[in-house]
Structure 1
Amino acid sequence: MTIDAISRSQIYVLDQDEALDFYVGKLGLEVHTDADLGFMRWLTVNVPGDRGREILLERPGPPALDPATAEQVRELLTKGALGGYLFMTTDDAHKTYEDLVARGVDVTDEPTERPYGIDFGIRDPFGNRIRIGQMF
């Protein structure tokens, strides 16, 4: 057996339409799949042209969580205590930073040169943390 790729990652969001506005409208990702499965909306986005890796923007609830647990997860998300982490790359950290600031994205720290490159942090509307880096 050989595992040869990671195809999907998942983060929780409270409102999938608001998540689309952020991830597609502000970050410039594209919708990969938006399907009503009946028991949930399967909503994934990806970097344009990279159809092999998707981020599932999942609302806490069935089938993964029972109603009581889903409510606890939503409460923790609202408090900013349960956000996930995404790591993305760019070819120009300073330009990407300026573009995102102009679009009103919540920046947690400015571009900083580090041994591996230049990176900065942002946060989505649900408390998920995102690092964007220009790797050396």
Structure 2
Amino acid sequence: MDITIHSTFLPQNDPDASLAFYRDQLGFEVRNDVAYGGMRWITMGAAGQPGTSLVLYPPVASPGVTDAERRTIAEMMAKGTYATLILATPDLDGAYARLQAGGAEVVEEPTVQPYGVRDCAVRDPAGNMIRIQERR
């Protein structure tokens, strides 16, 4: 089977703050920015990976989700327990310094984990957990 990861969705509740975080702090390129019904979907990705995208979406636009579920999603996003994105870089210390200088909420400084990976963790403006692993 010939299959690839095309895109993945990550919730955001402030498109401008999310855009600044992913574009300005992480260096992702904006591929699409669509407004519809008072909401925005922003498609981004790493410049060297044109076939893989991250779509920042408004979770209230999820079909079939009840109001109670929306409240639960908002609570989980605020705690950083709803969604996680794992990125990789050859310069973990540089990425961490850039995020820290940009005011990202630090969850864990660069650390060697018991399972052998060196990484750090921050939250994006929506509260999503972003882990960045050091690529050797």
Which interval holds the TM-score relative to the shorter structure? 0.7 to 0.9
Matches within 5 A, 1:94-105: 94-105=93-104
Equivalent residue number for residue 128 of structure 1: 128
Q: Hey, what's the Cα distance between the residues in 2 that align with 1:108 and 1:34?
A: 29
Structure 1 residue 16 displacement after superposition? 1.3
Are 1:17 and 2:19 counterparts? no
Q: Hey, what's the Cα distance between the residues in 2 that align with 1:58 and 1:65?
A: 15
Equivalent residue number for residue 68 of structure 1: 67
- Counting aligned pairs with the same residue, the percent is 30
Q: CA RMSD in A?
A: 2.4
**8 Å Cα contact 2:10-2:56 kept in structure 1:** yes
Structure 1 spans left out of the alignment, 5+ residues:
none
**8 Å Cα contact 1:7-1:52 kept in structure 2:** yes
Instruction: Calculate the TM-score normalised by the size of structure 2.
Output: 0.82
Structure 1 residue 131 displacement after superposition? 0.8
Equivalent residue number for residue 4 of structure 2: 5
Question: 1:100-121, CA deviations, whole angstroms, 9 ceiling, x for partnerless residues?
Answer: 2111111111111245442111
Q: Hey, what's the Cα distance between the residues in 1 that align with 2:59 and 2:124?
A: 16
Instruction: Calculate the TM-score normalised by the size of structure 1.
Output: 0.82
Structure 2 spans left out of the alignment, 5+ residues:
none
**8 Å Cα contact 1:8-1:56 kept in structure 2:** yes
Structure 1 residue 126 displacement after superposition? 1.3
Structure 1 residue 47 displacement after superposition? 1.1
Structure 1 residue 38 displacement after superposition? 5.2
Equivalent residue number for residue 41 of structure 2: 42
Structure 1 pair 62–75 and aligned structure 2 pair: CA distance change class (3 A):
closer
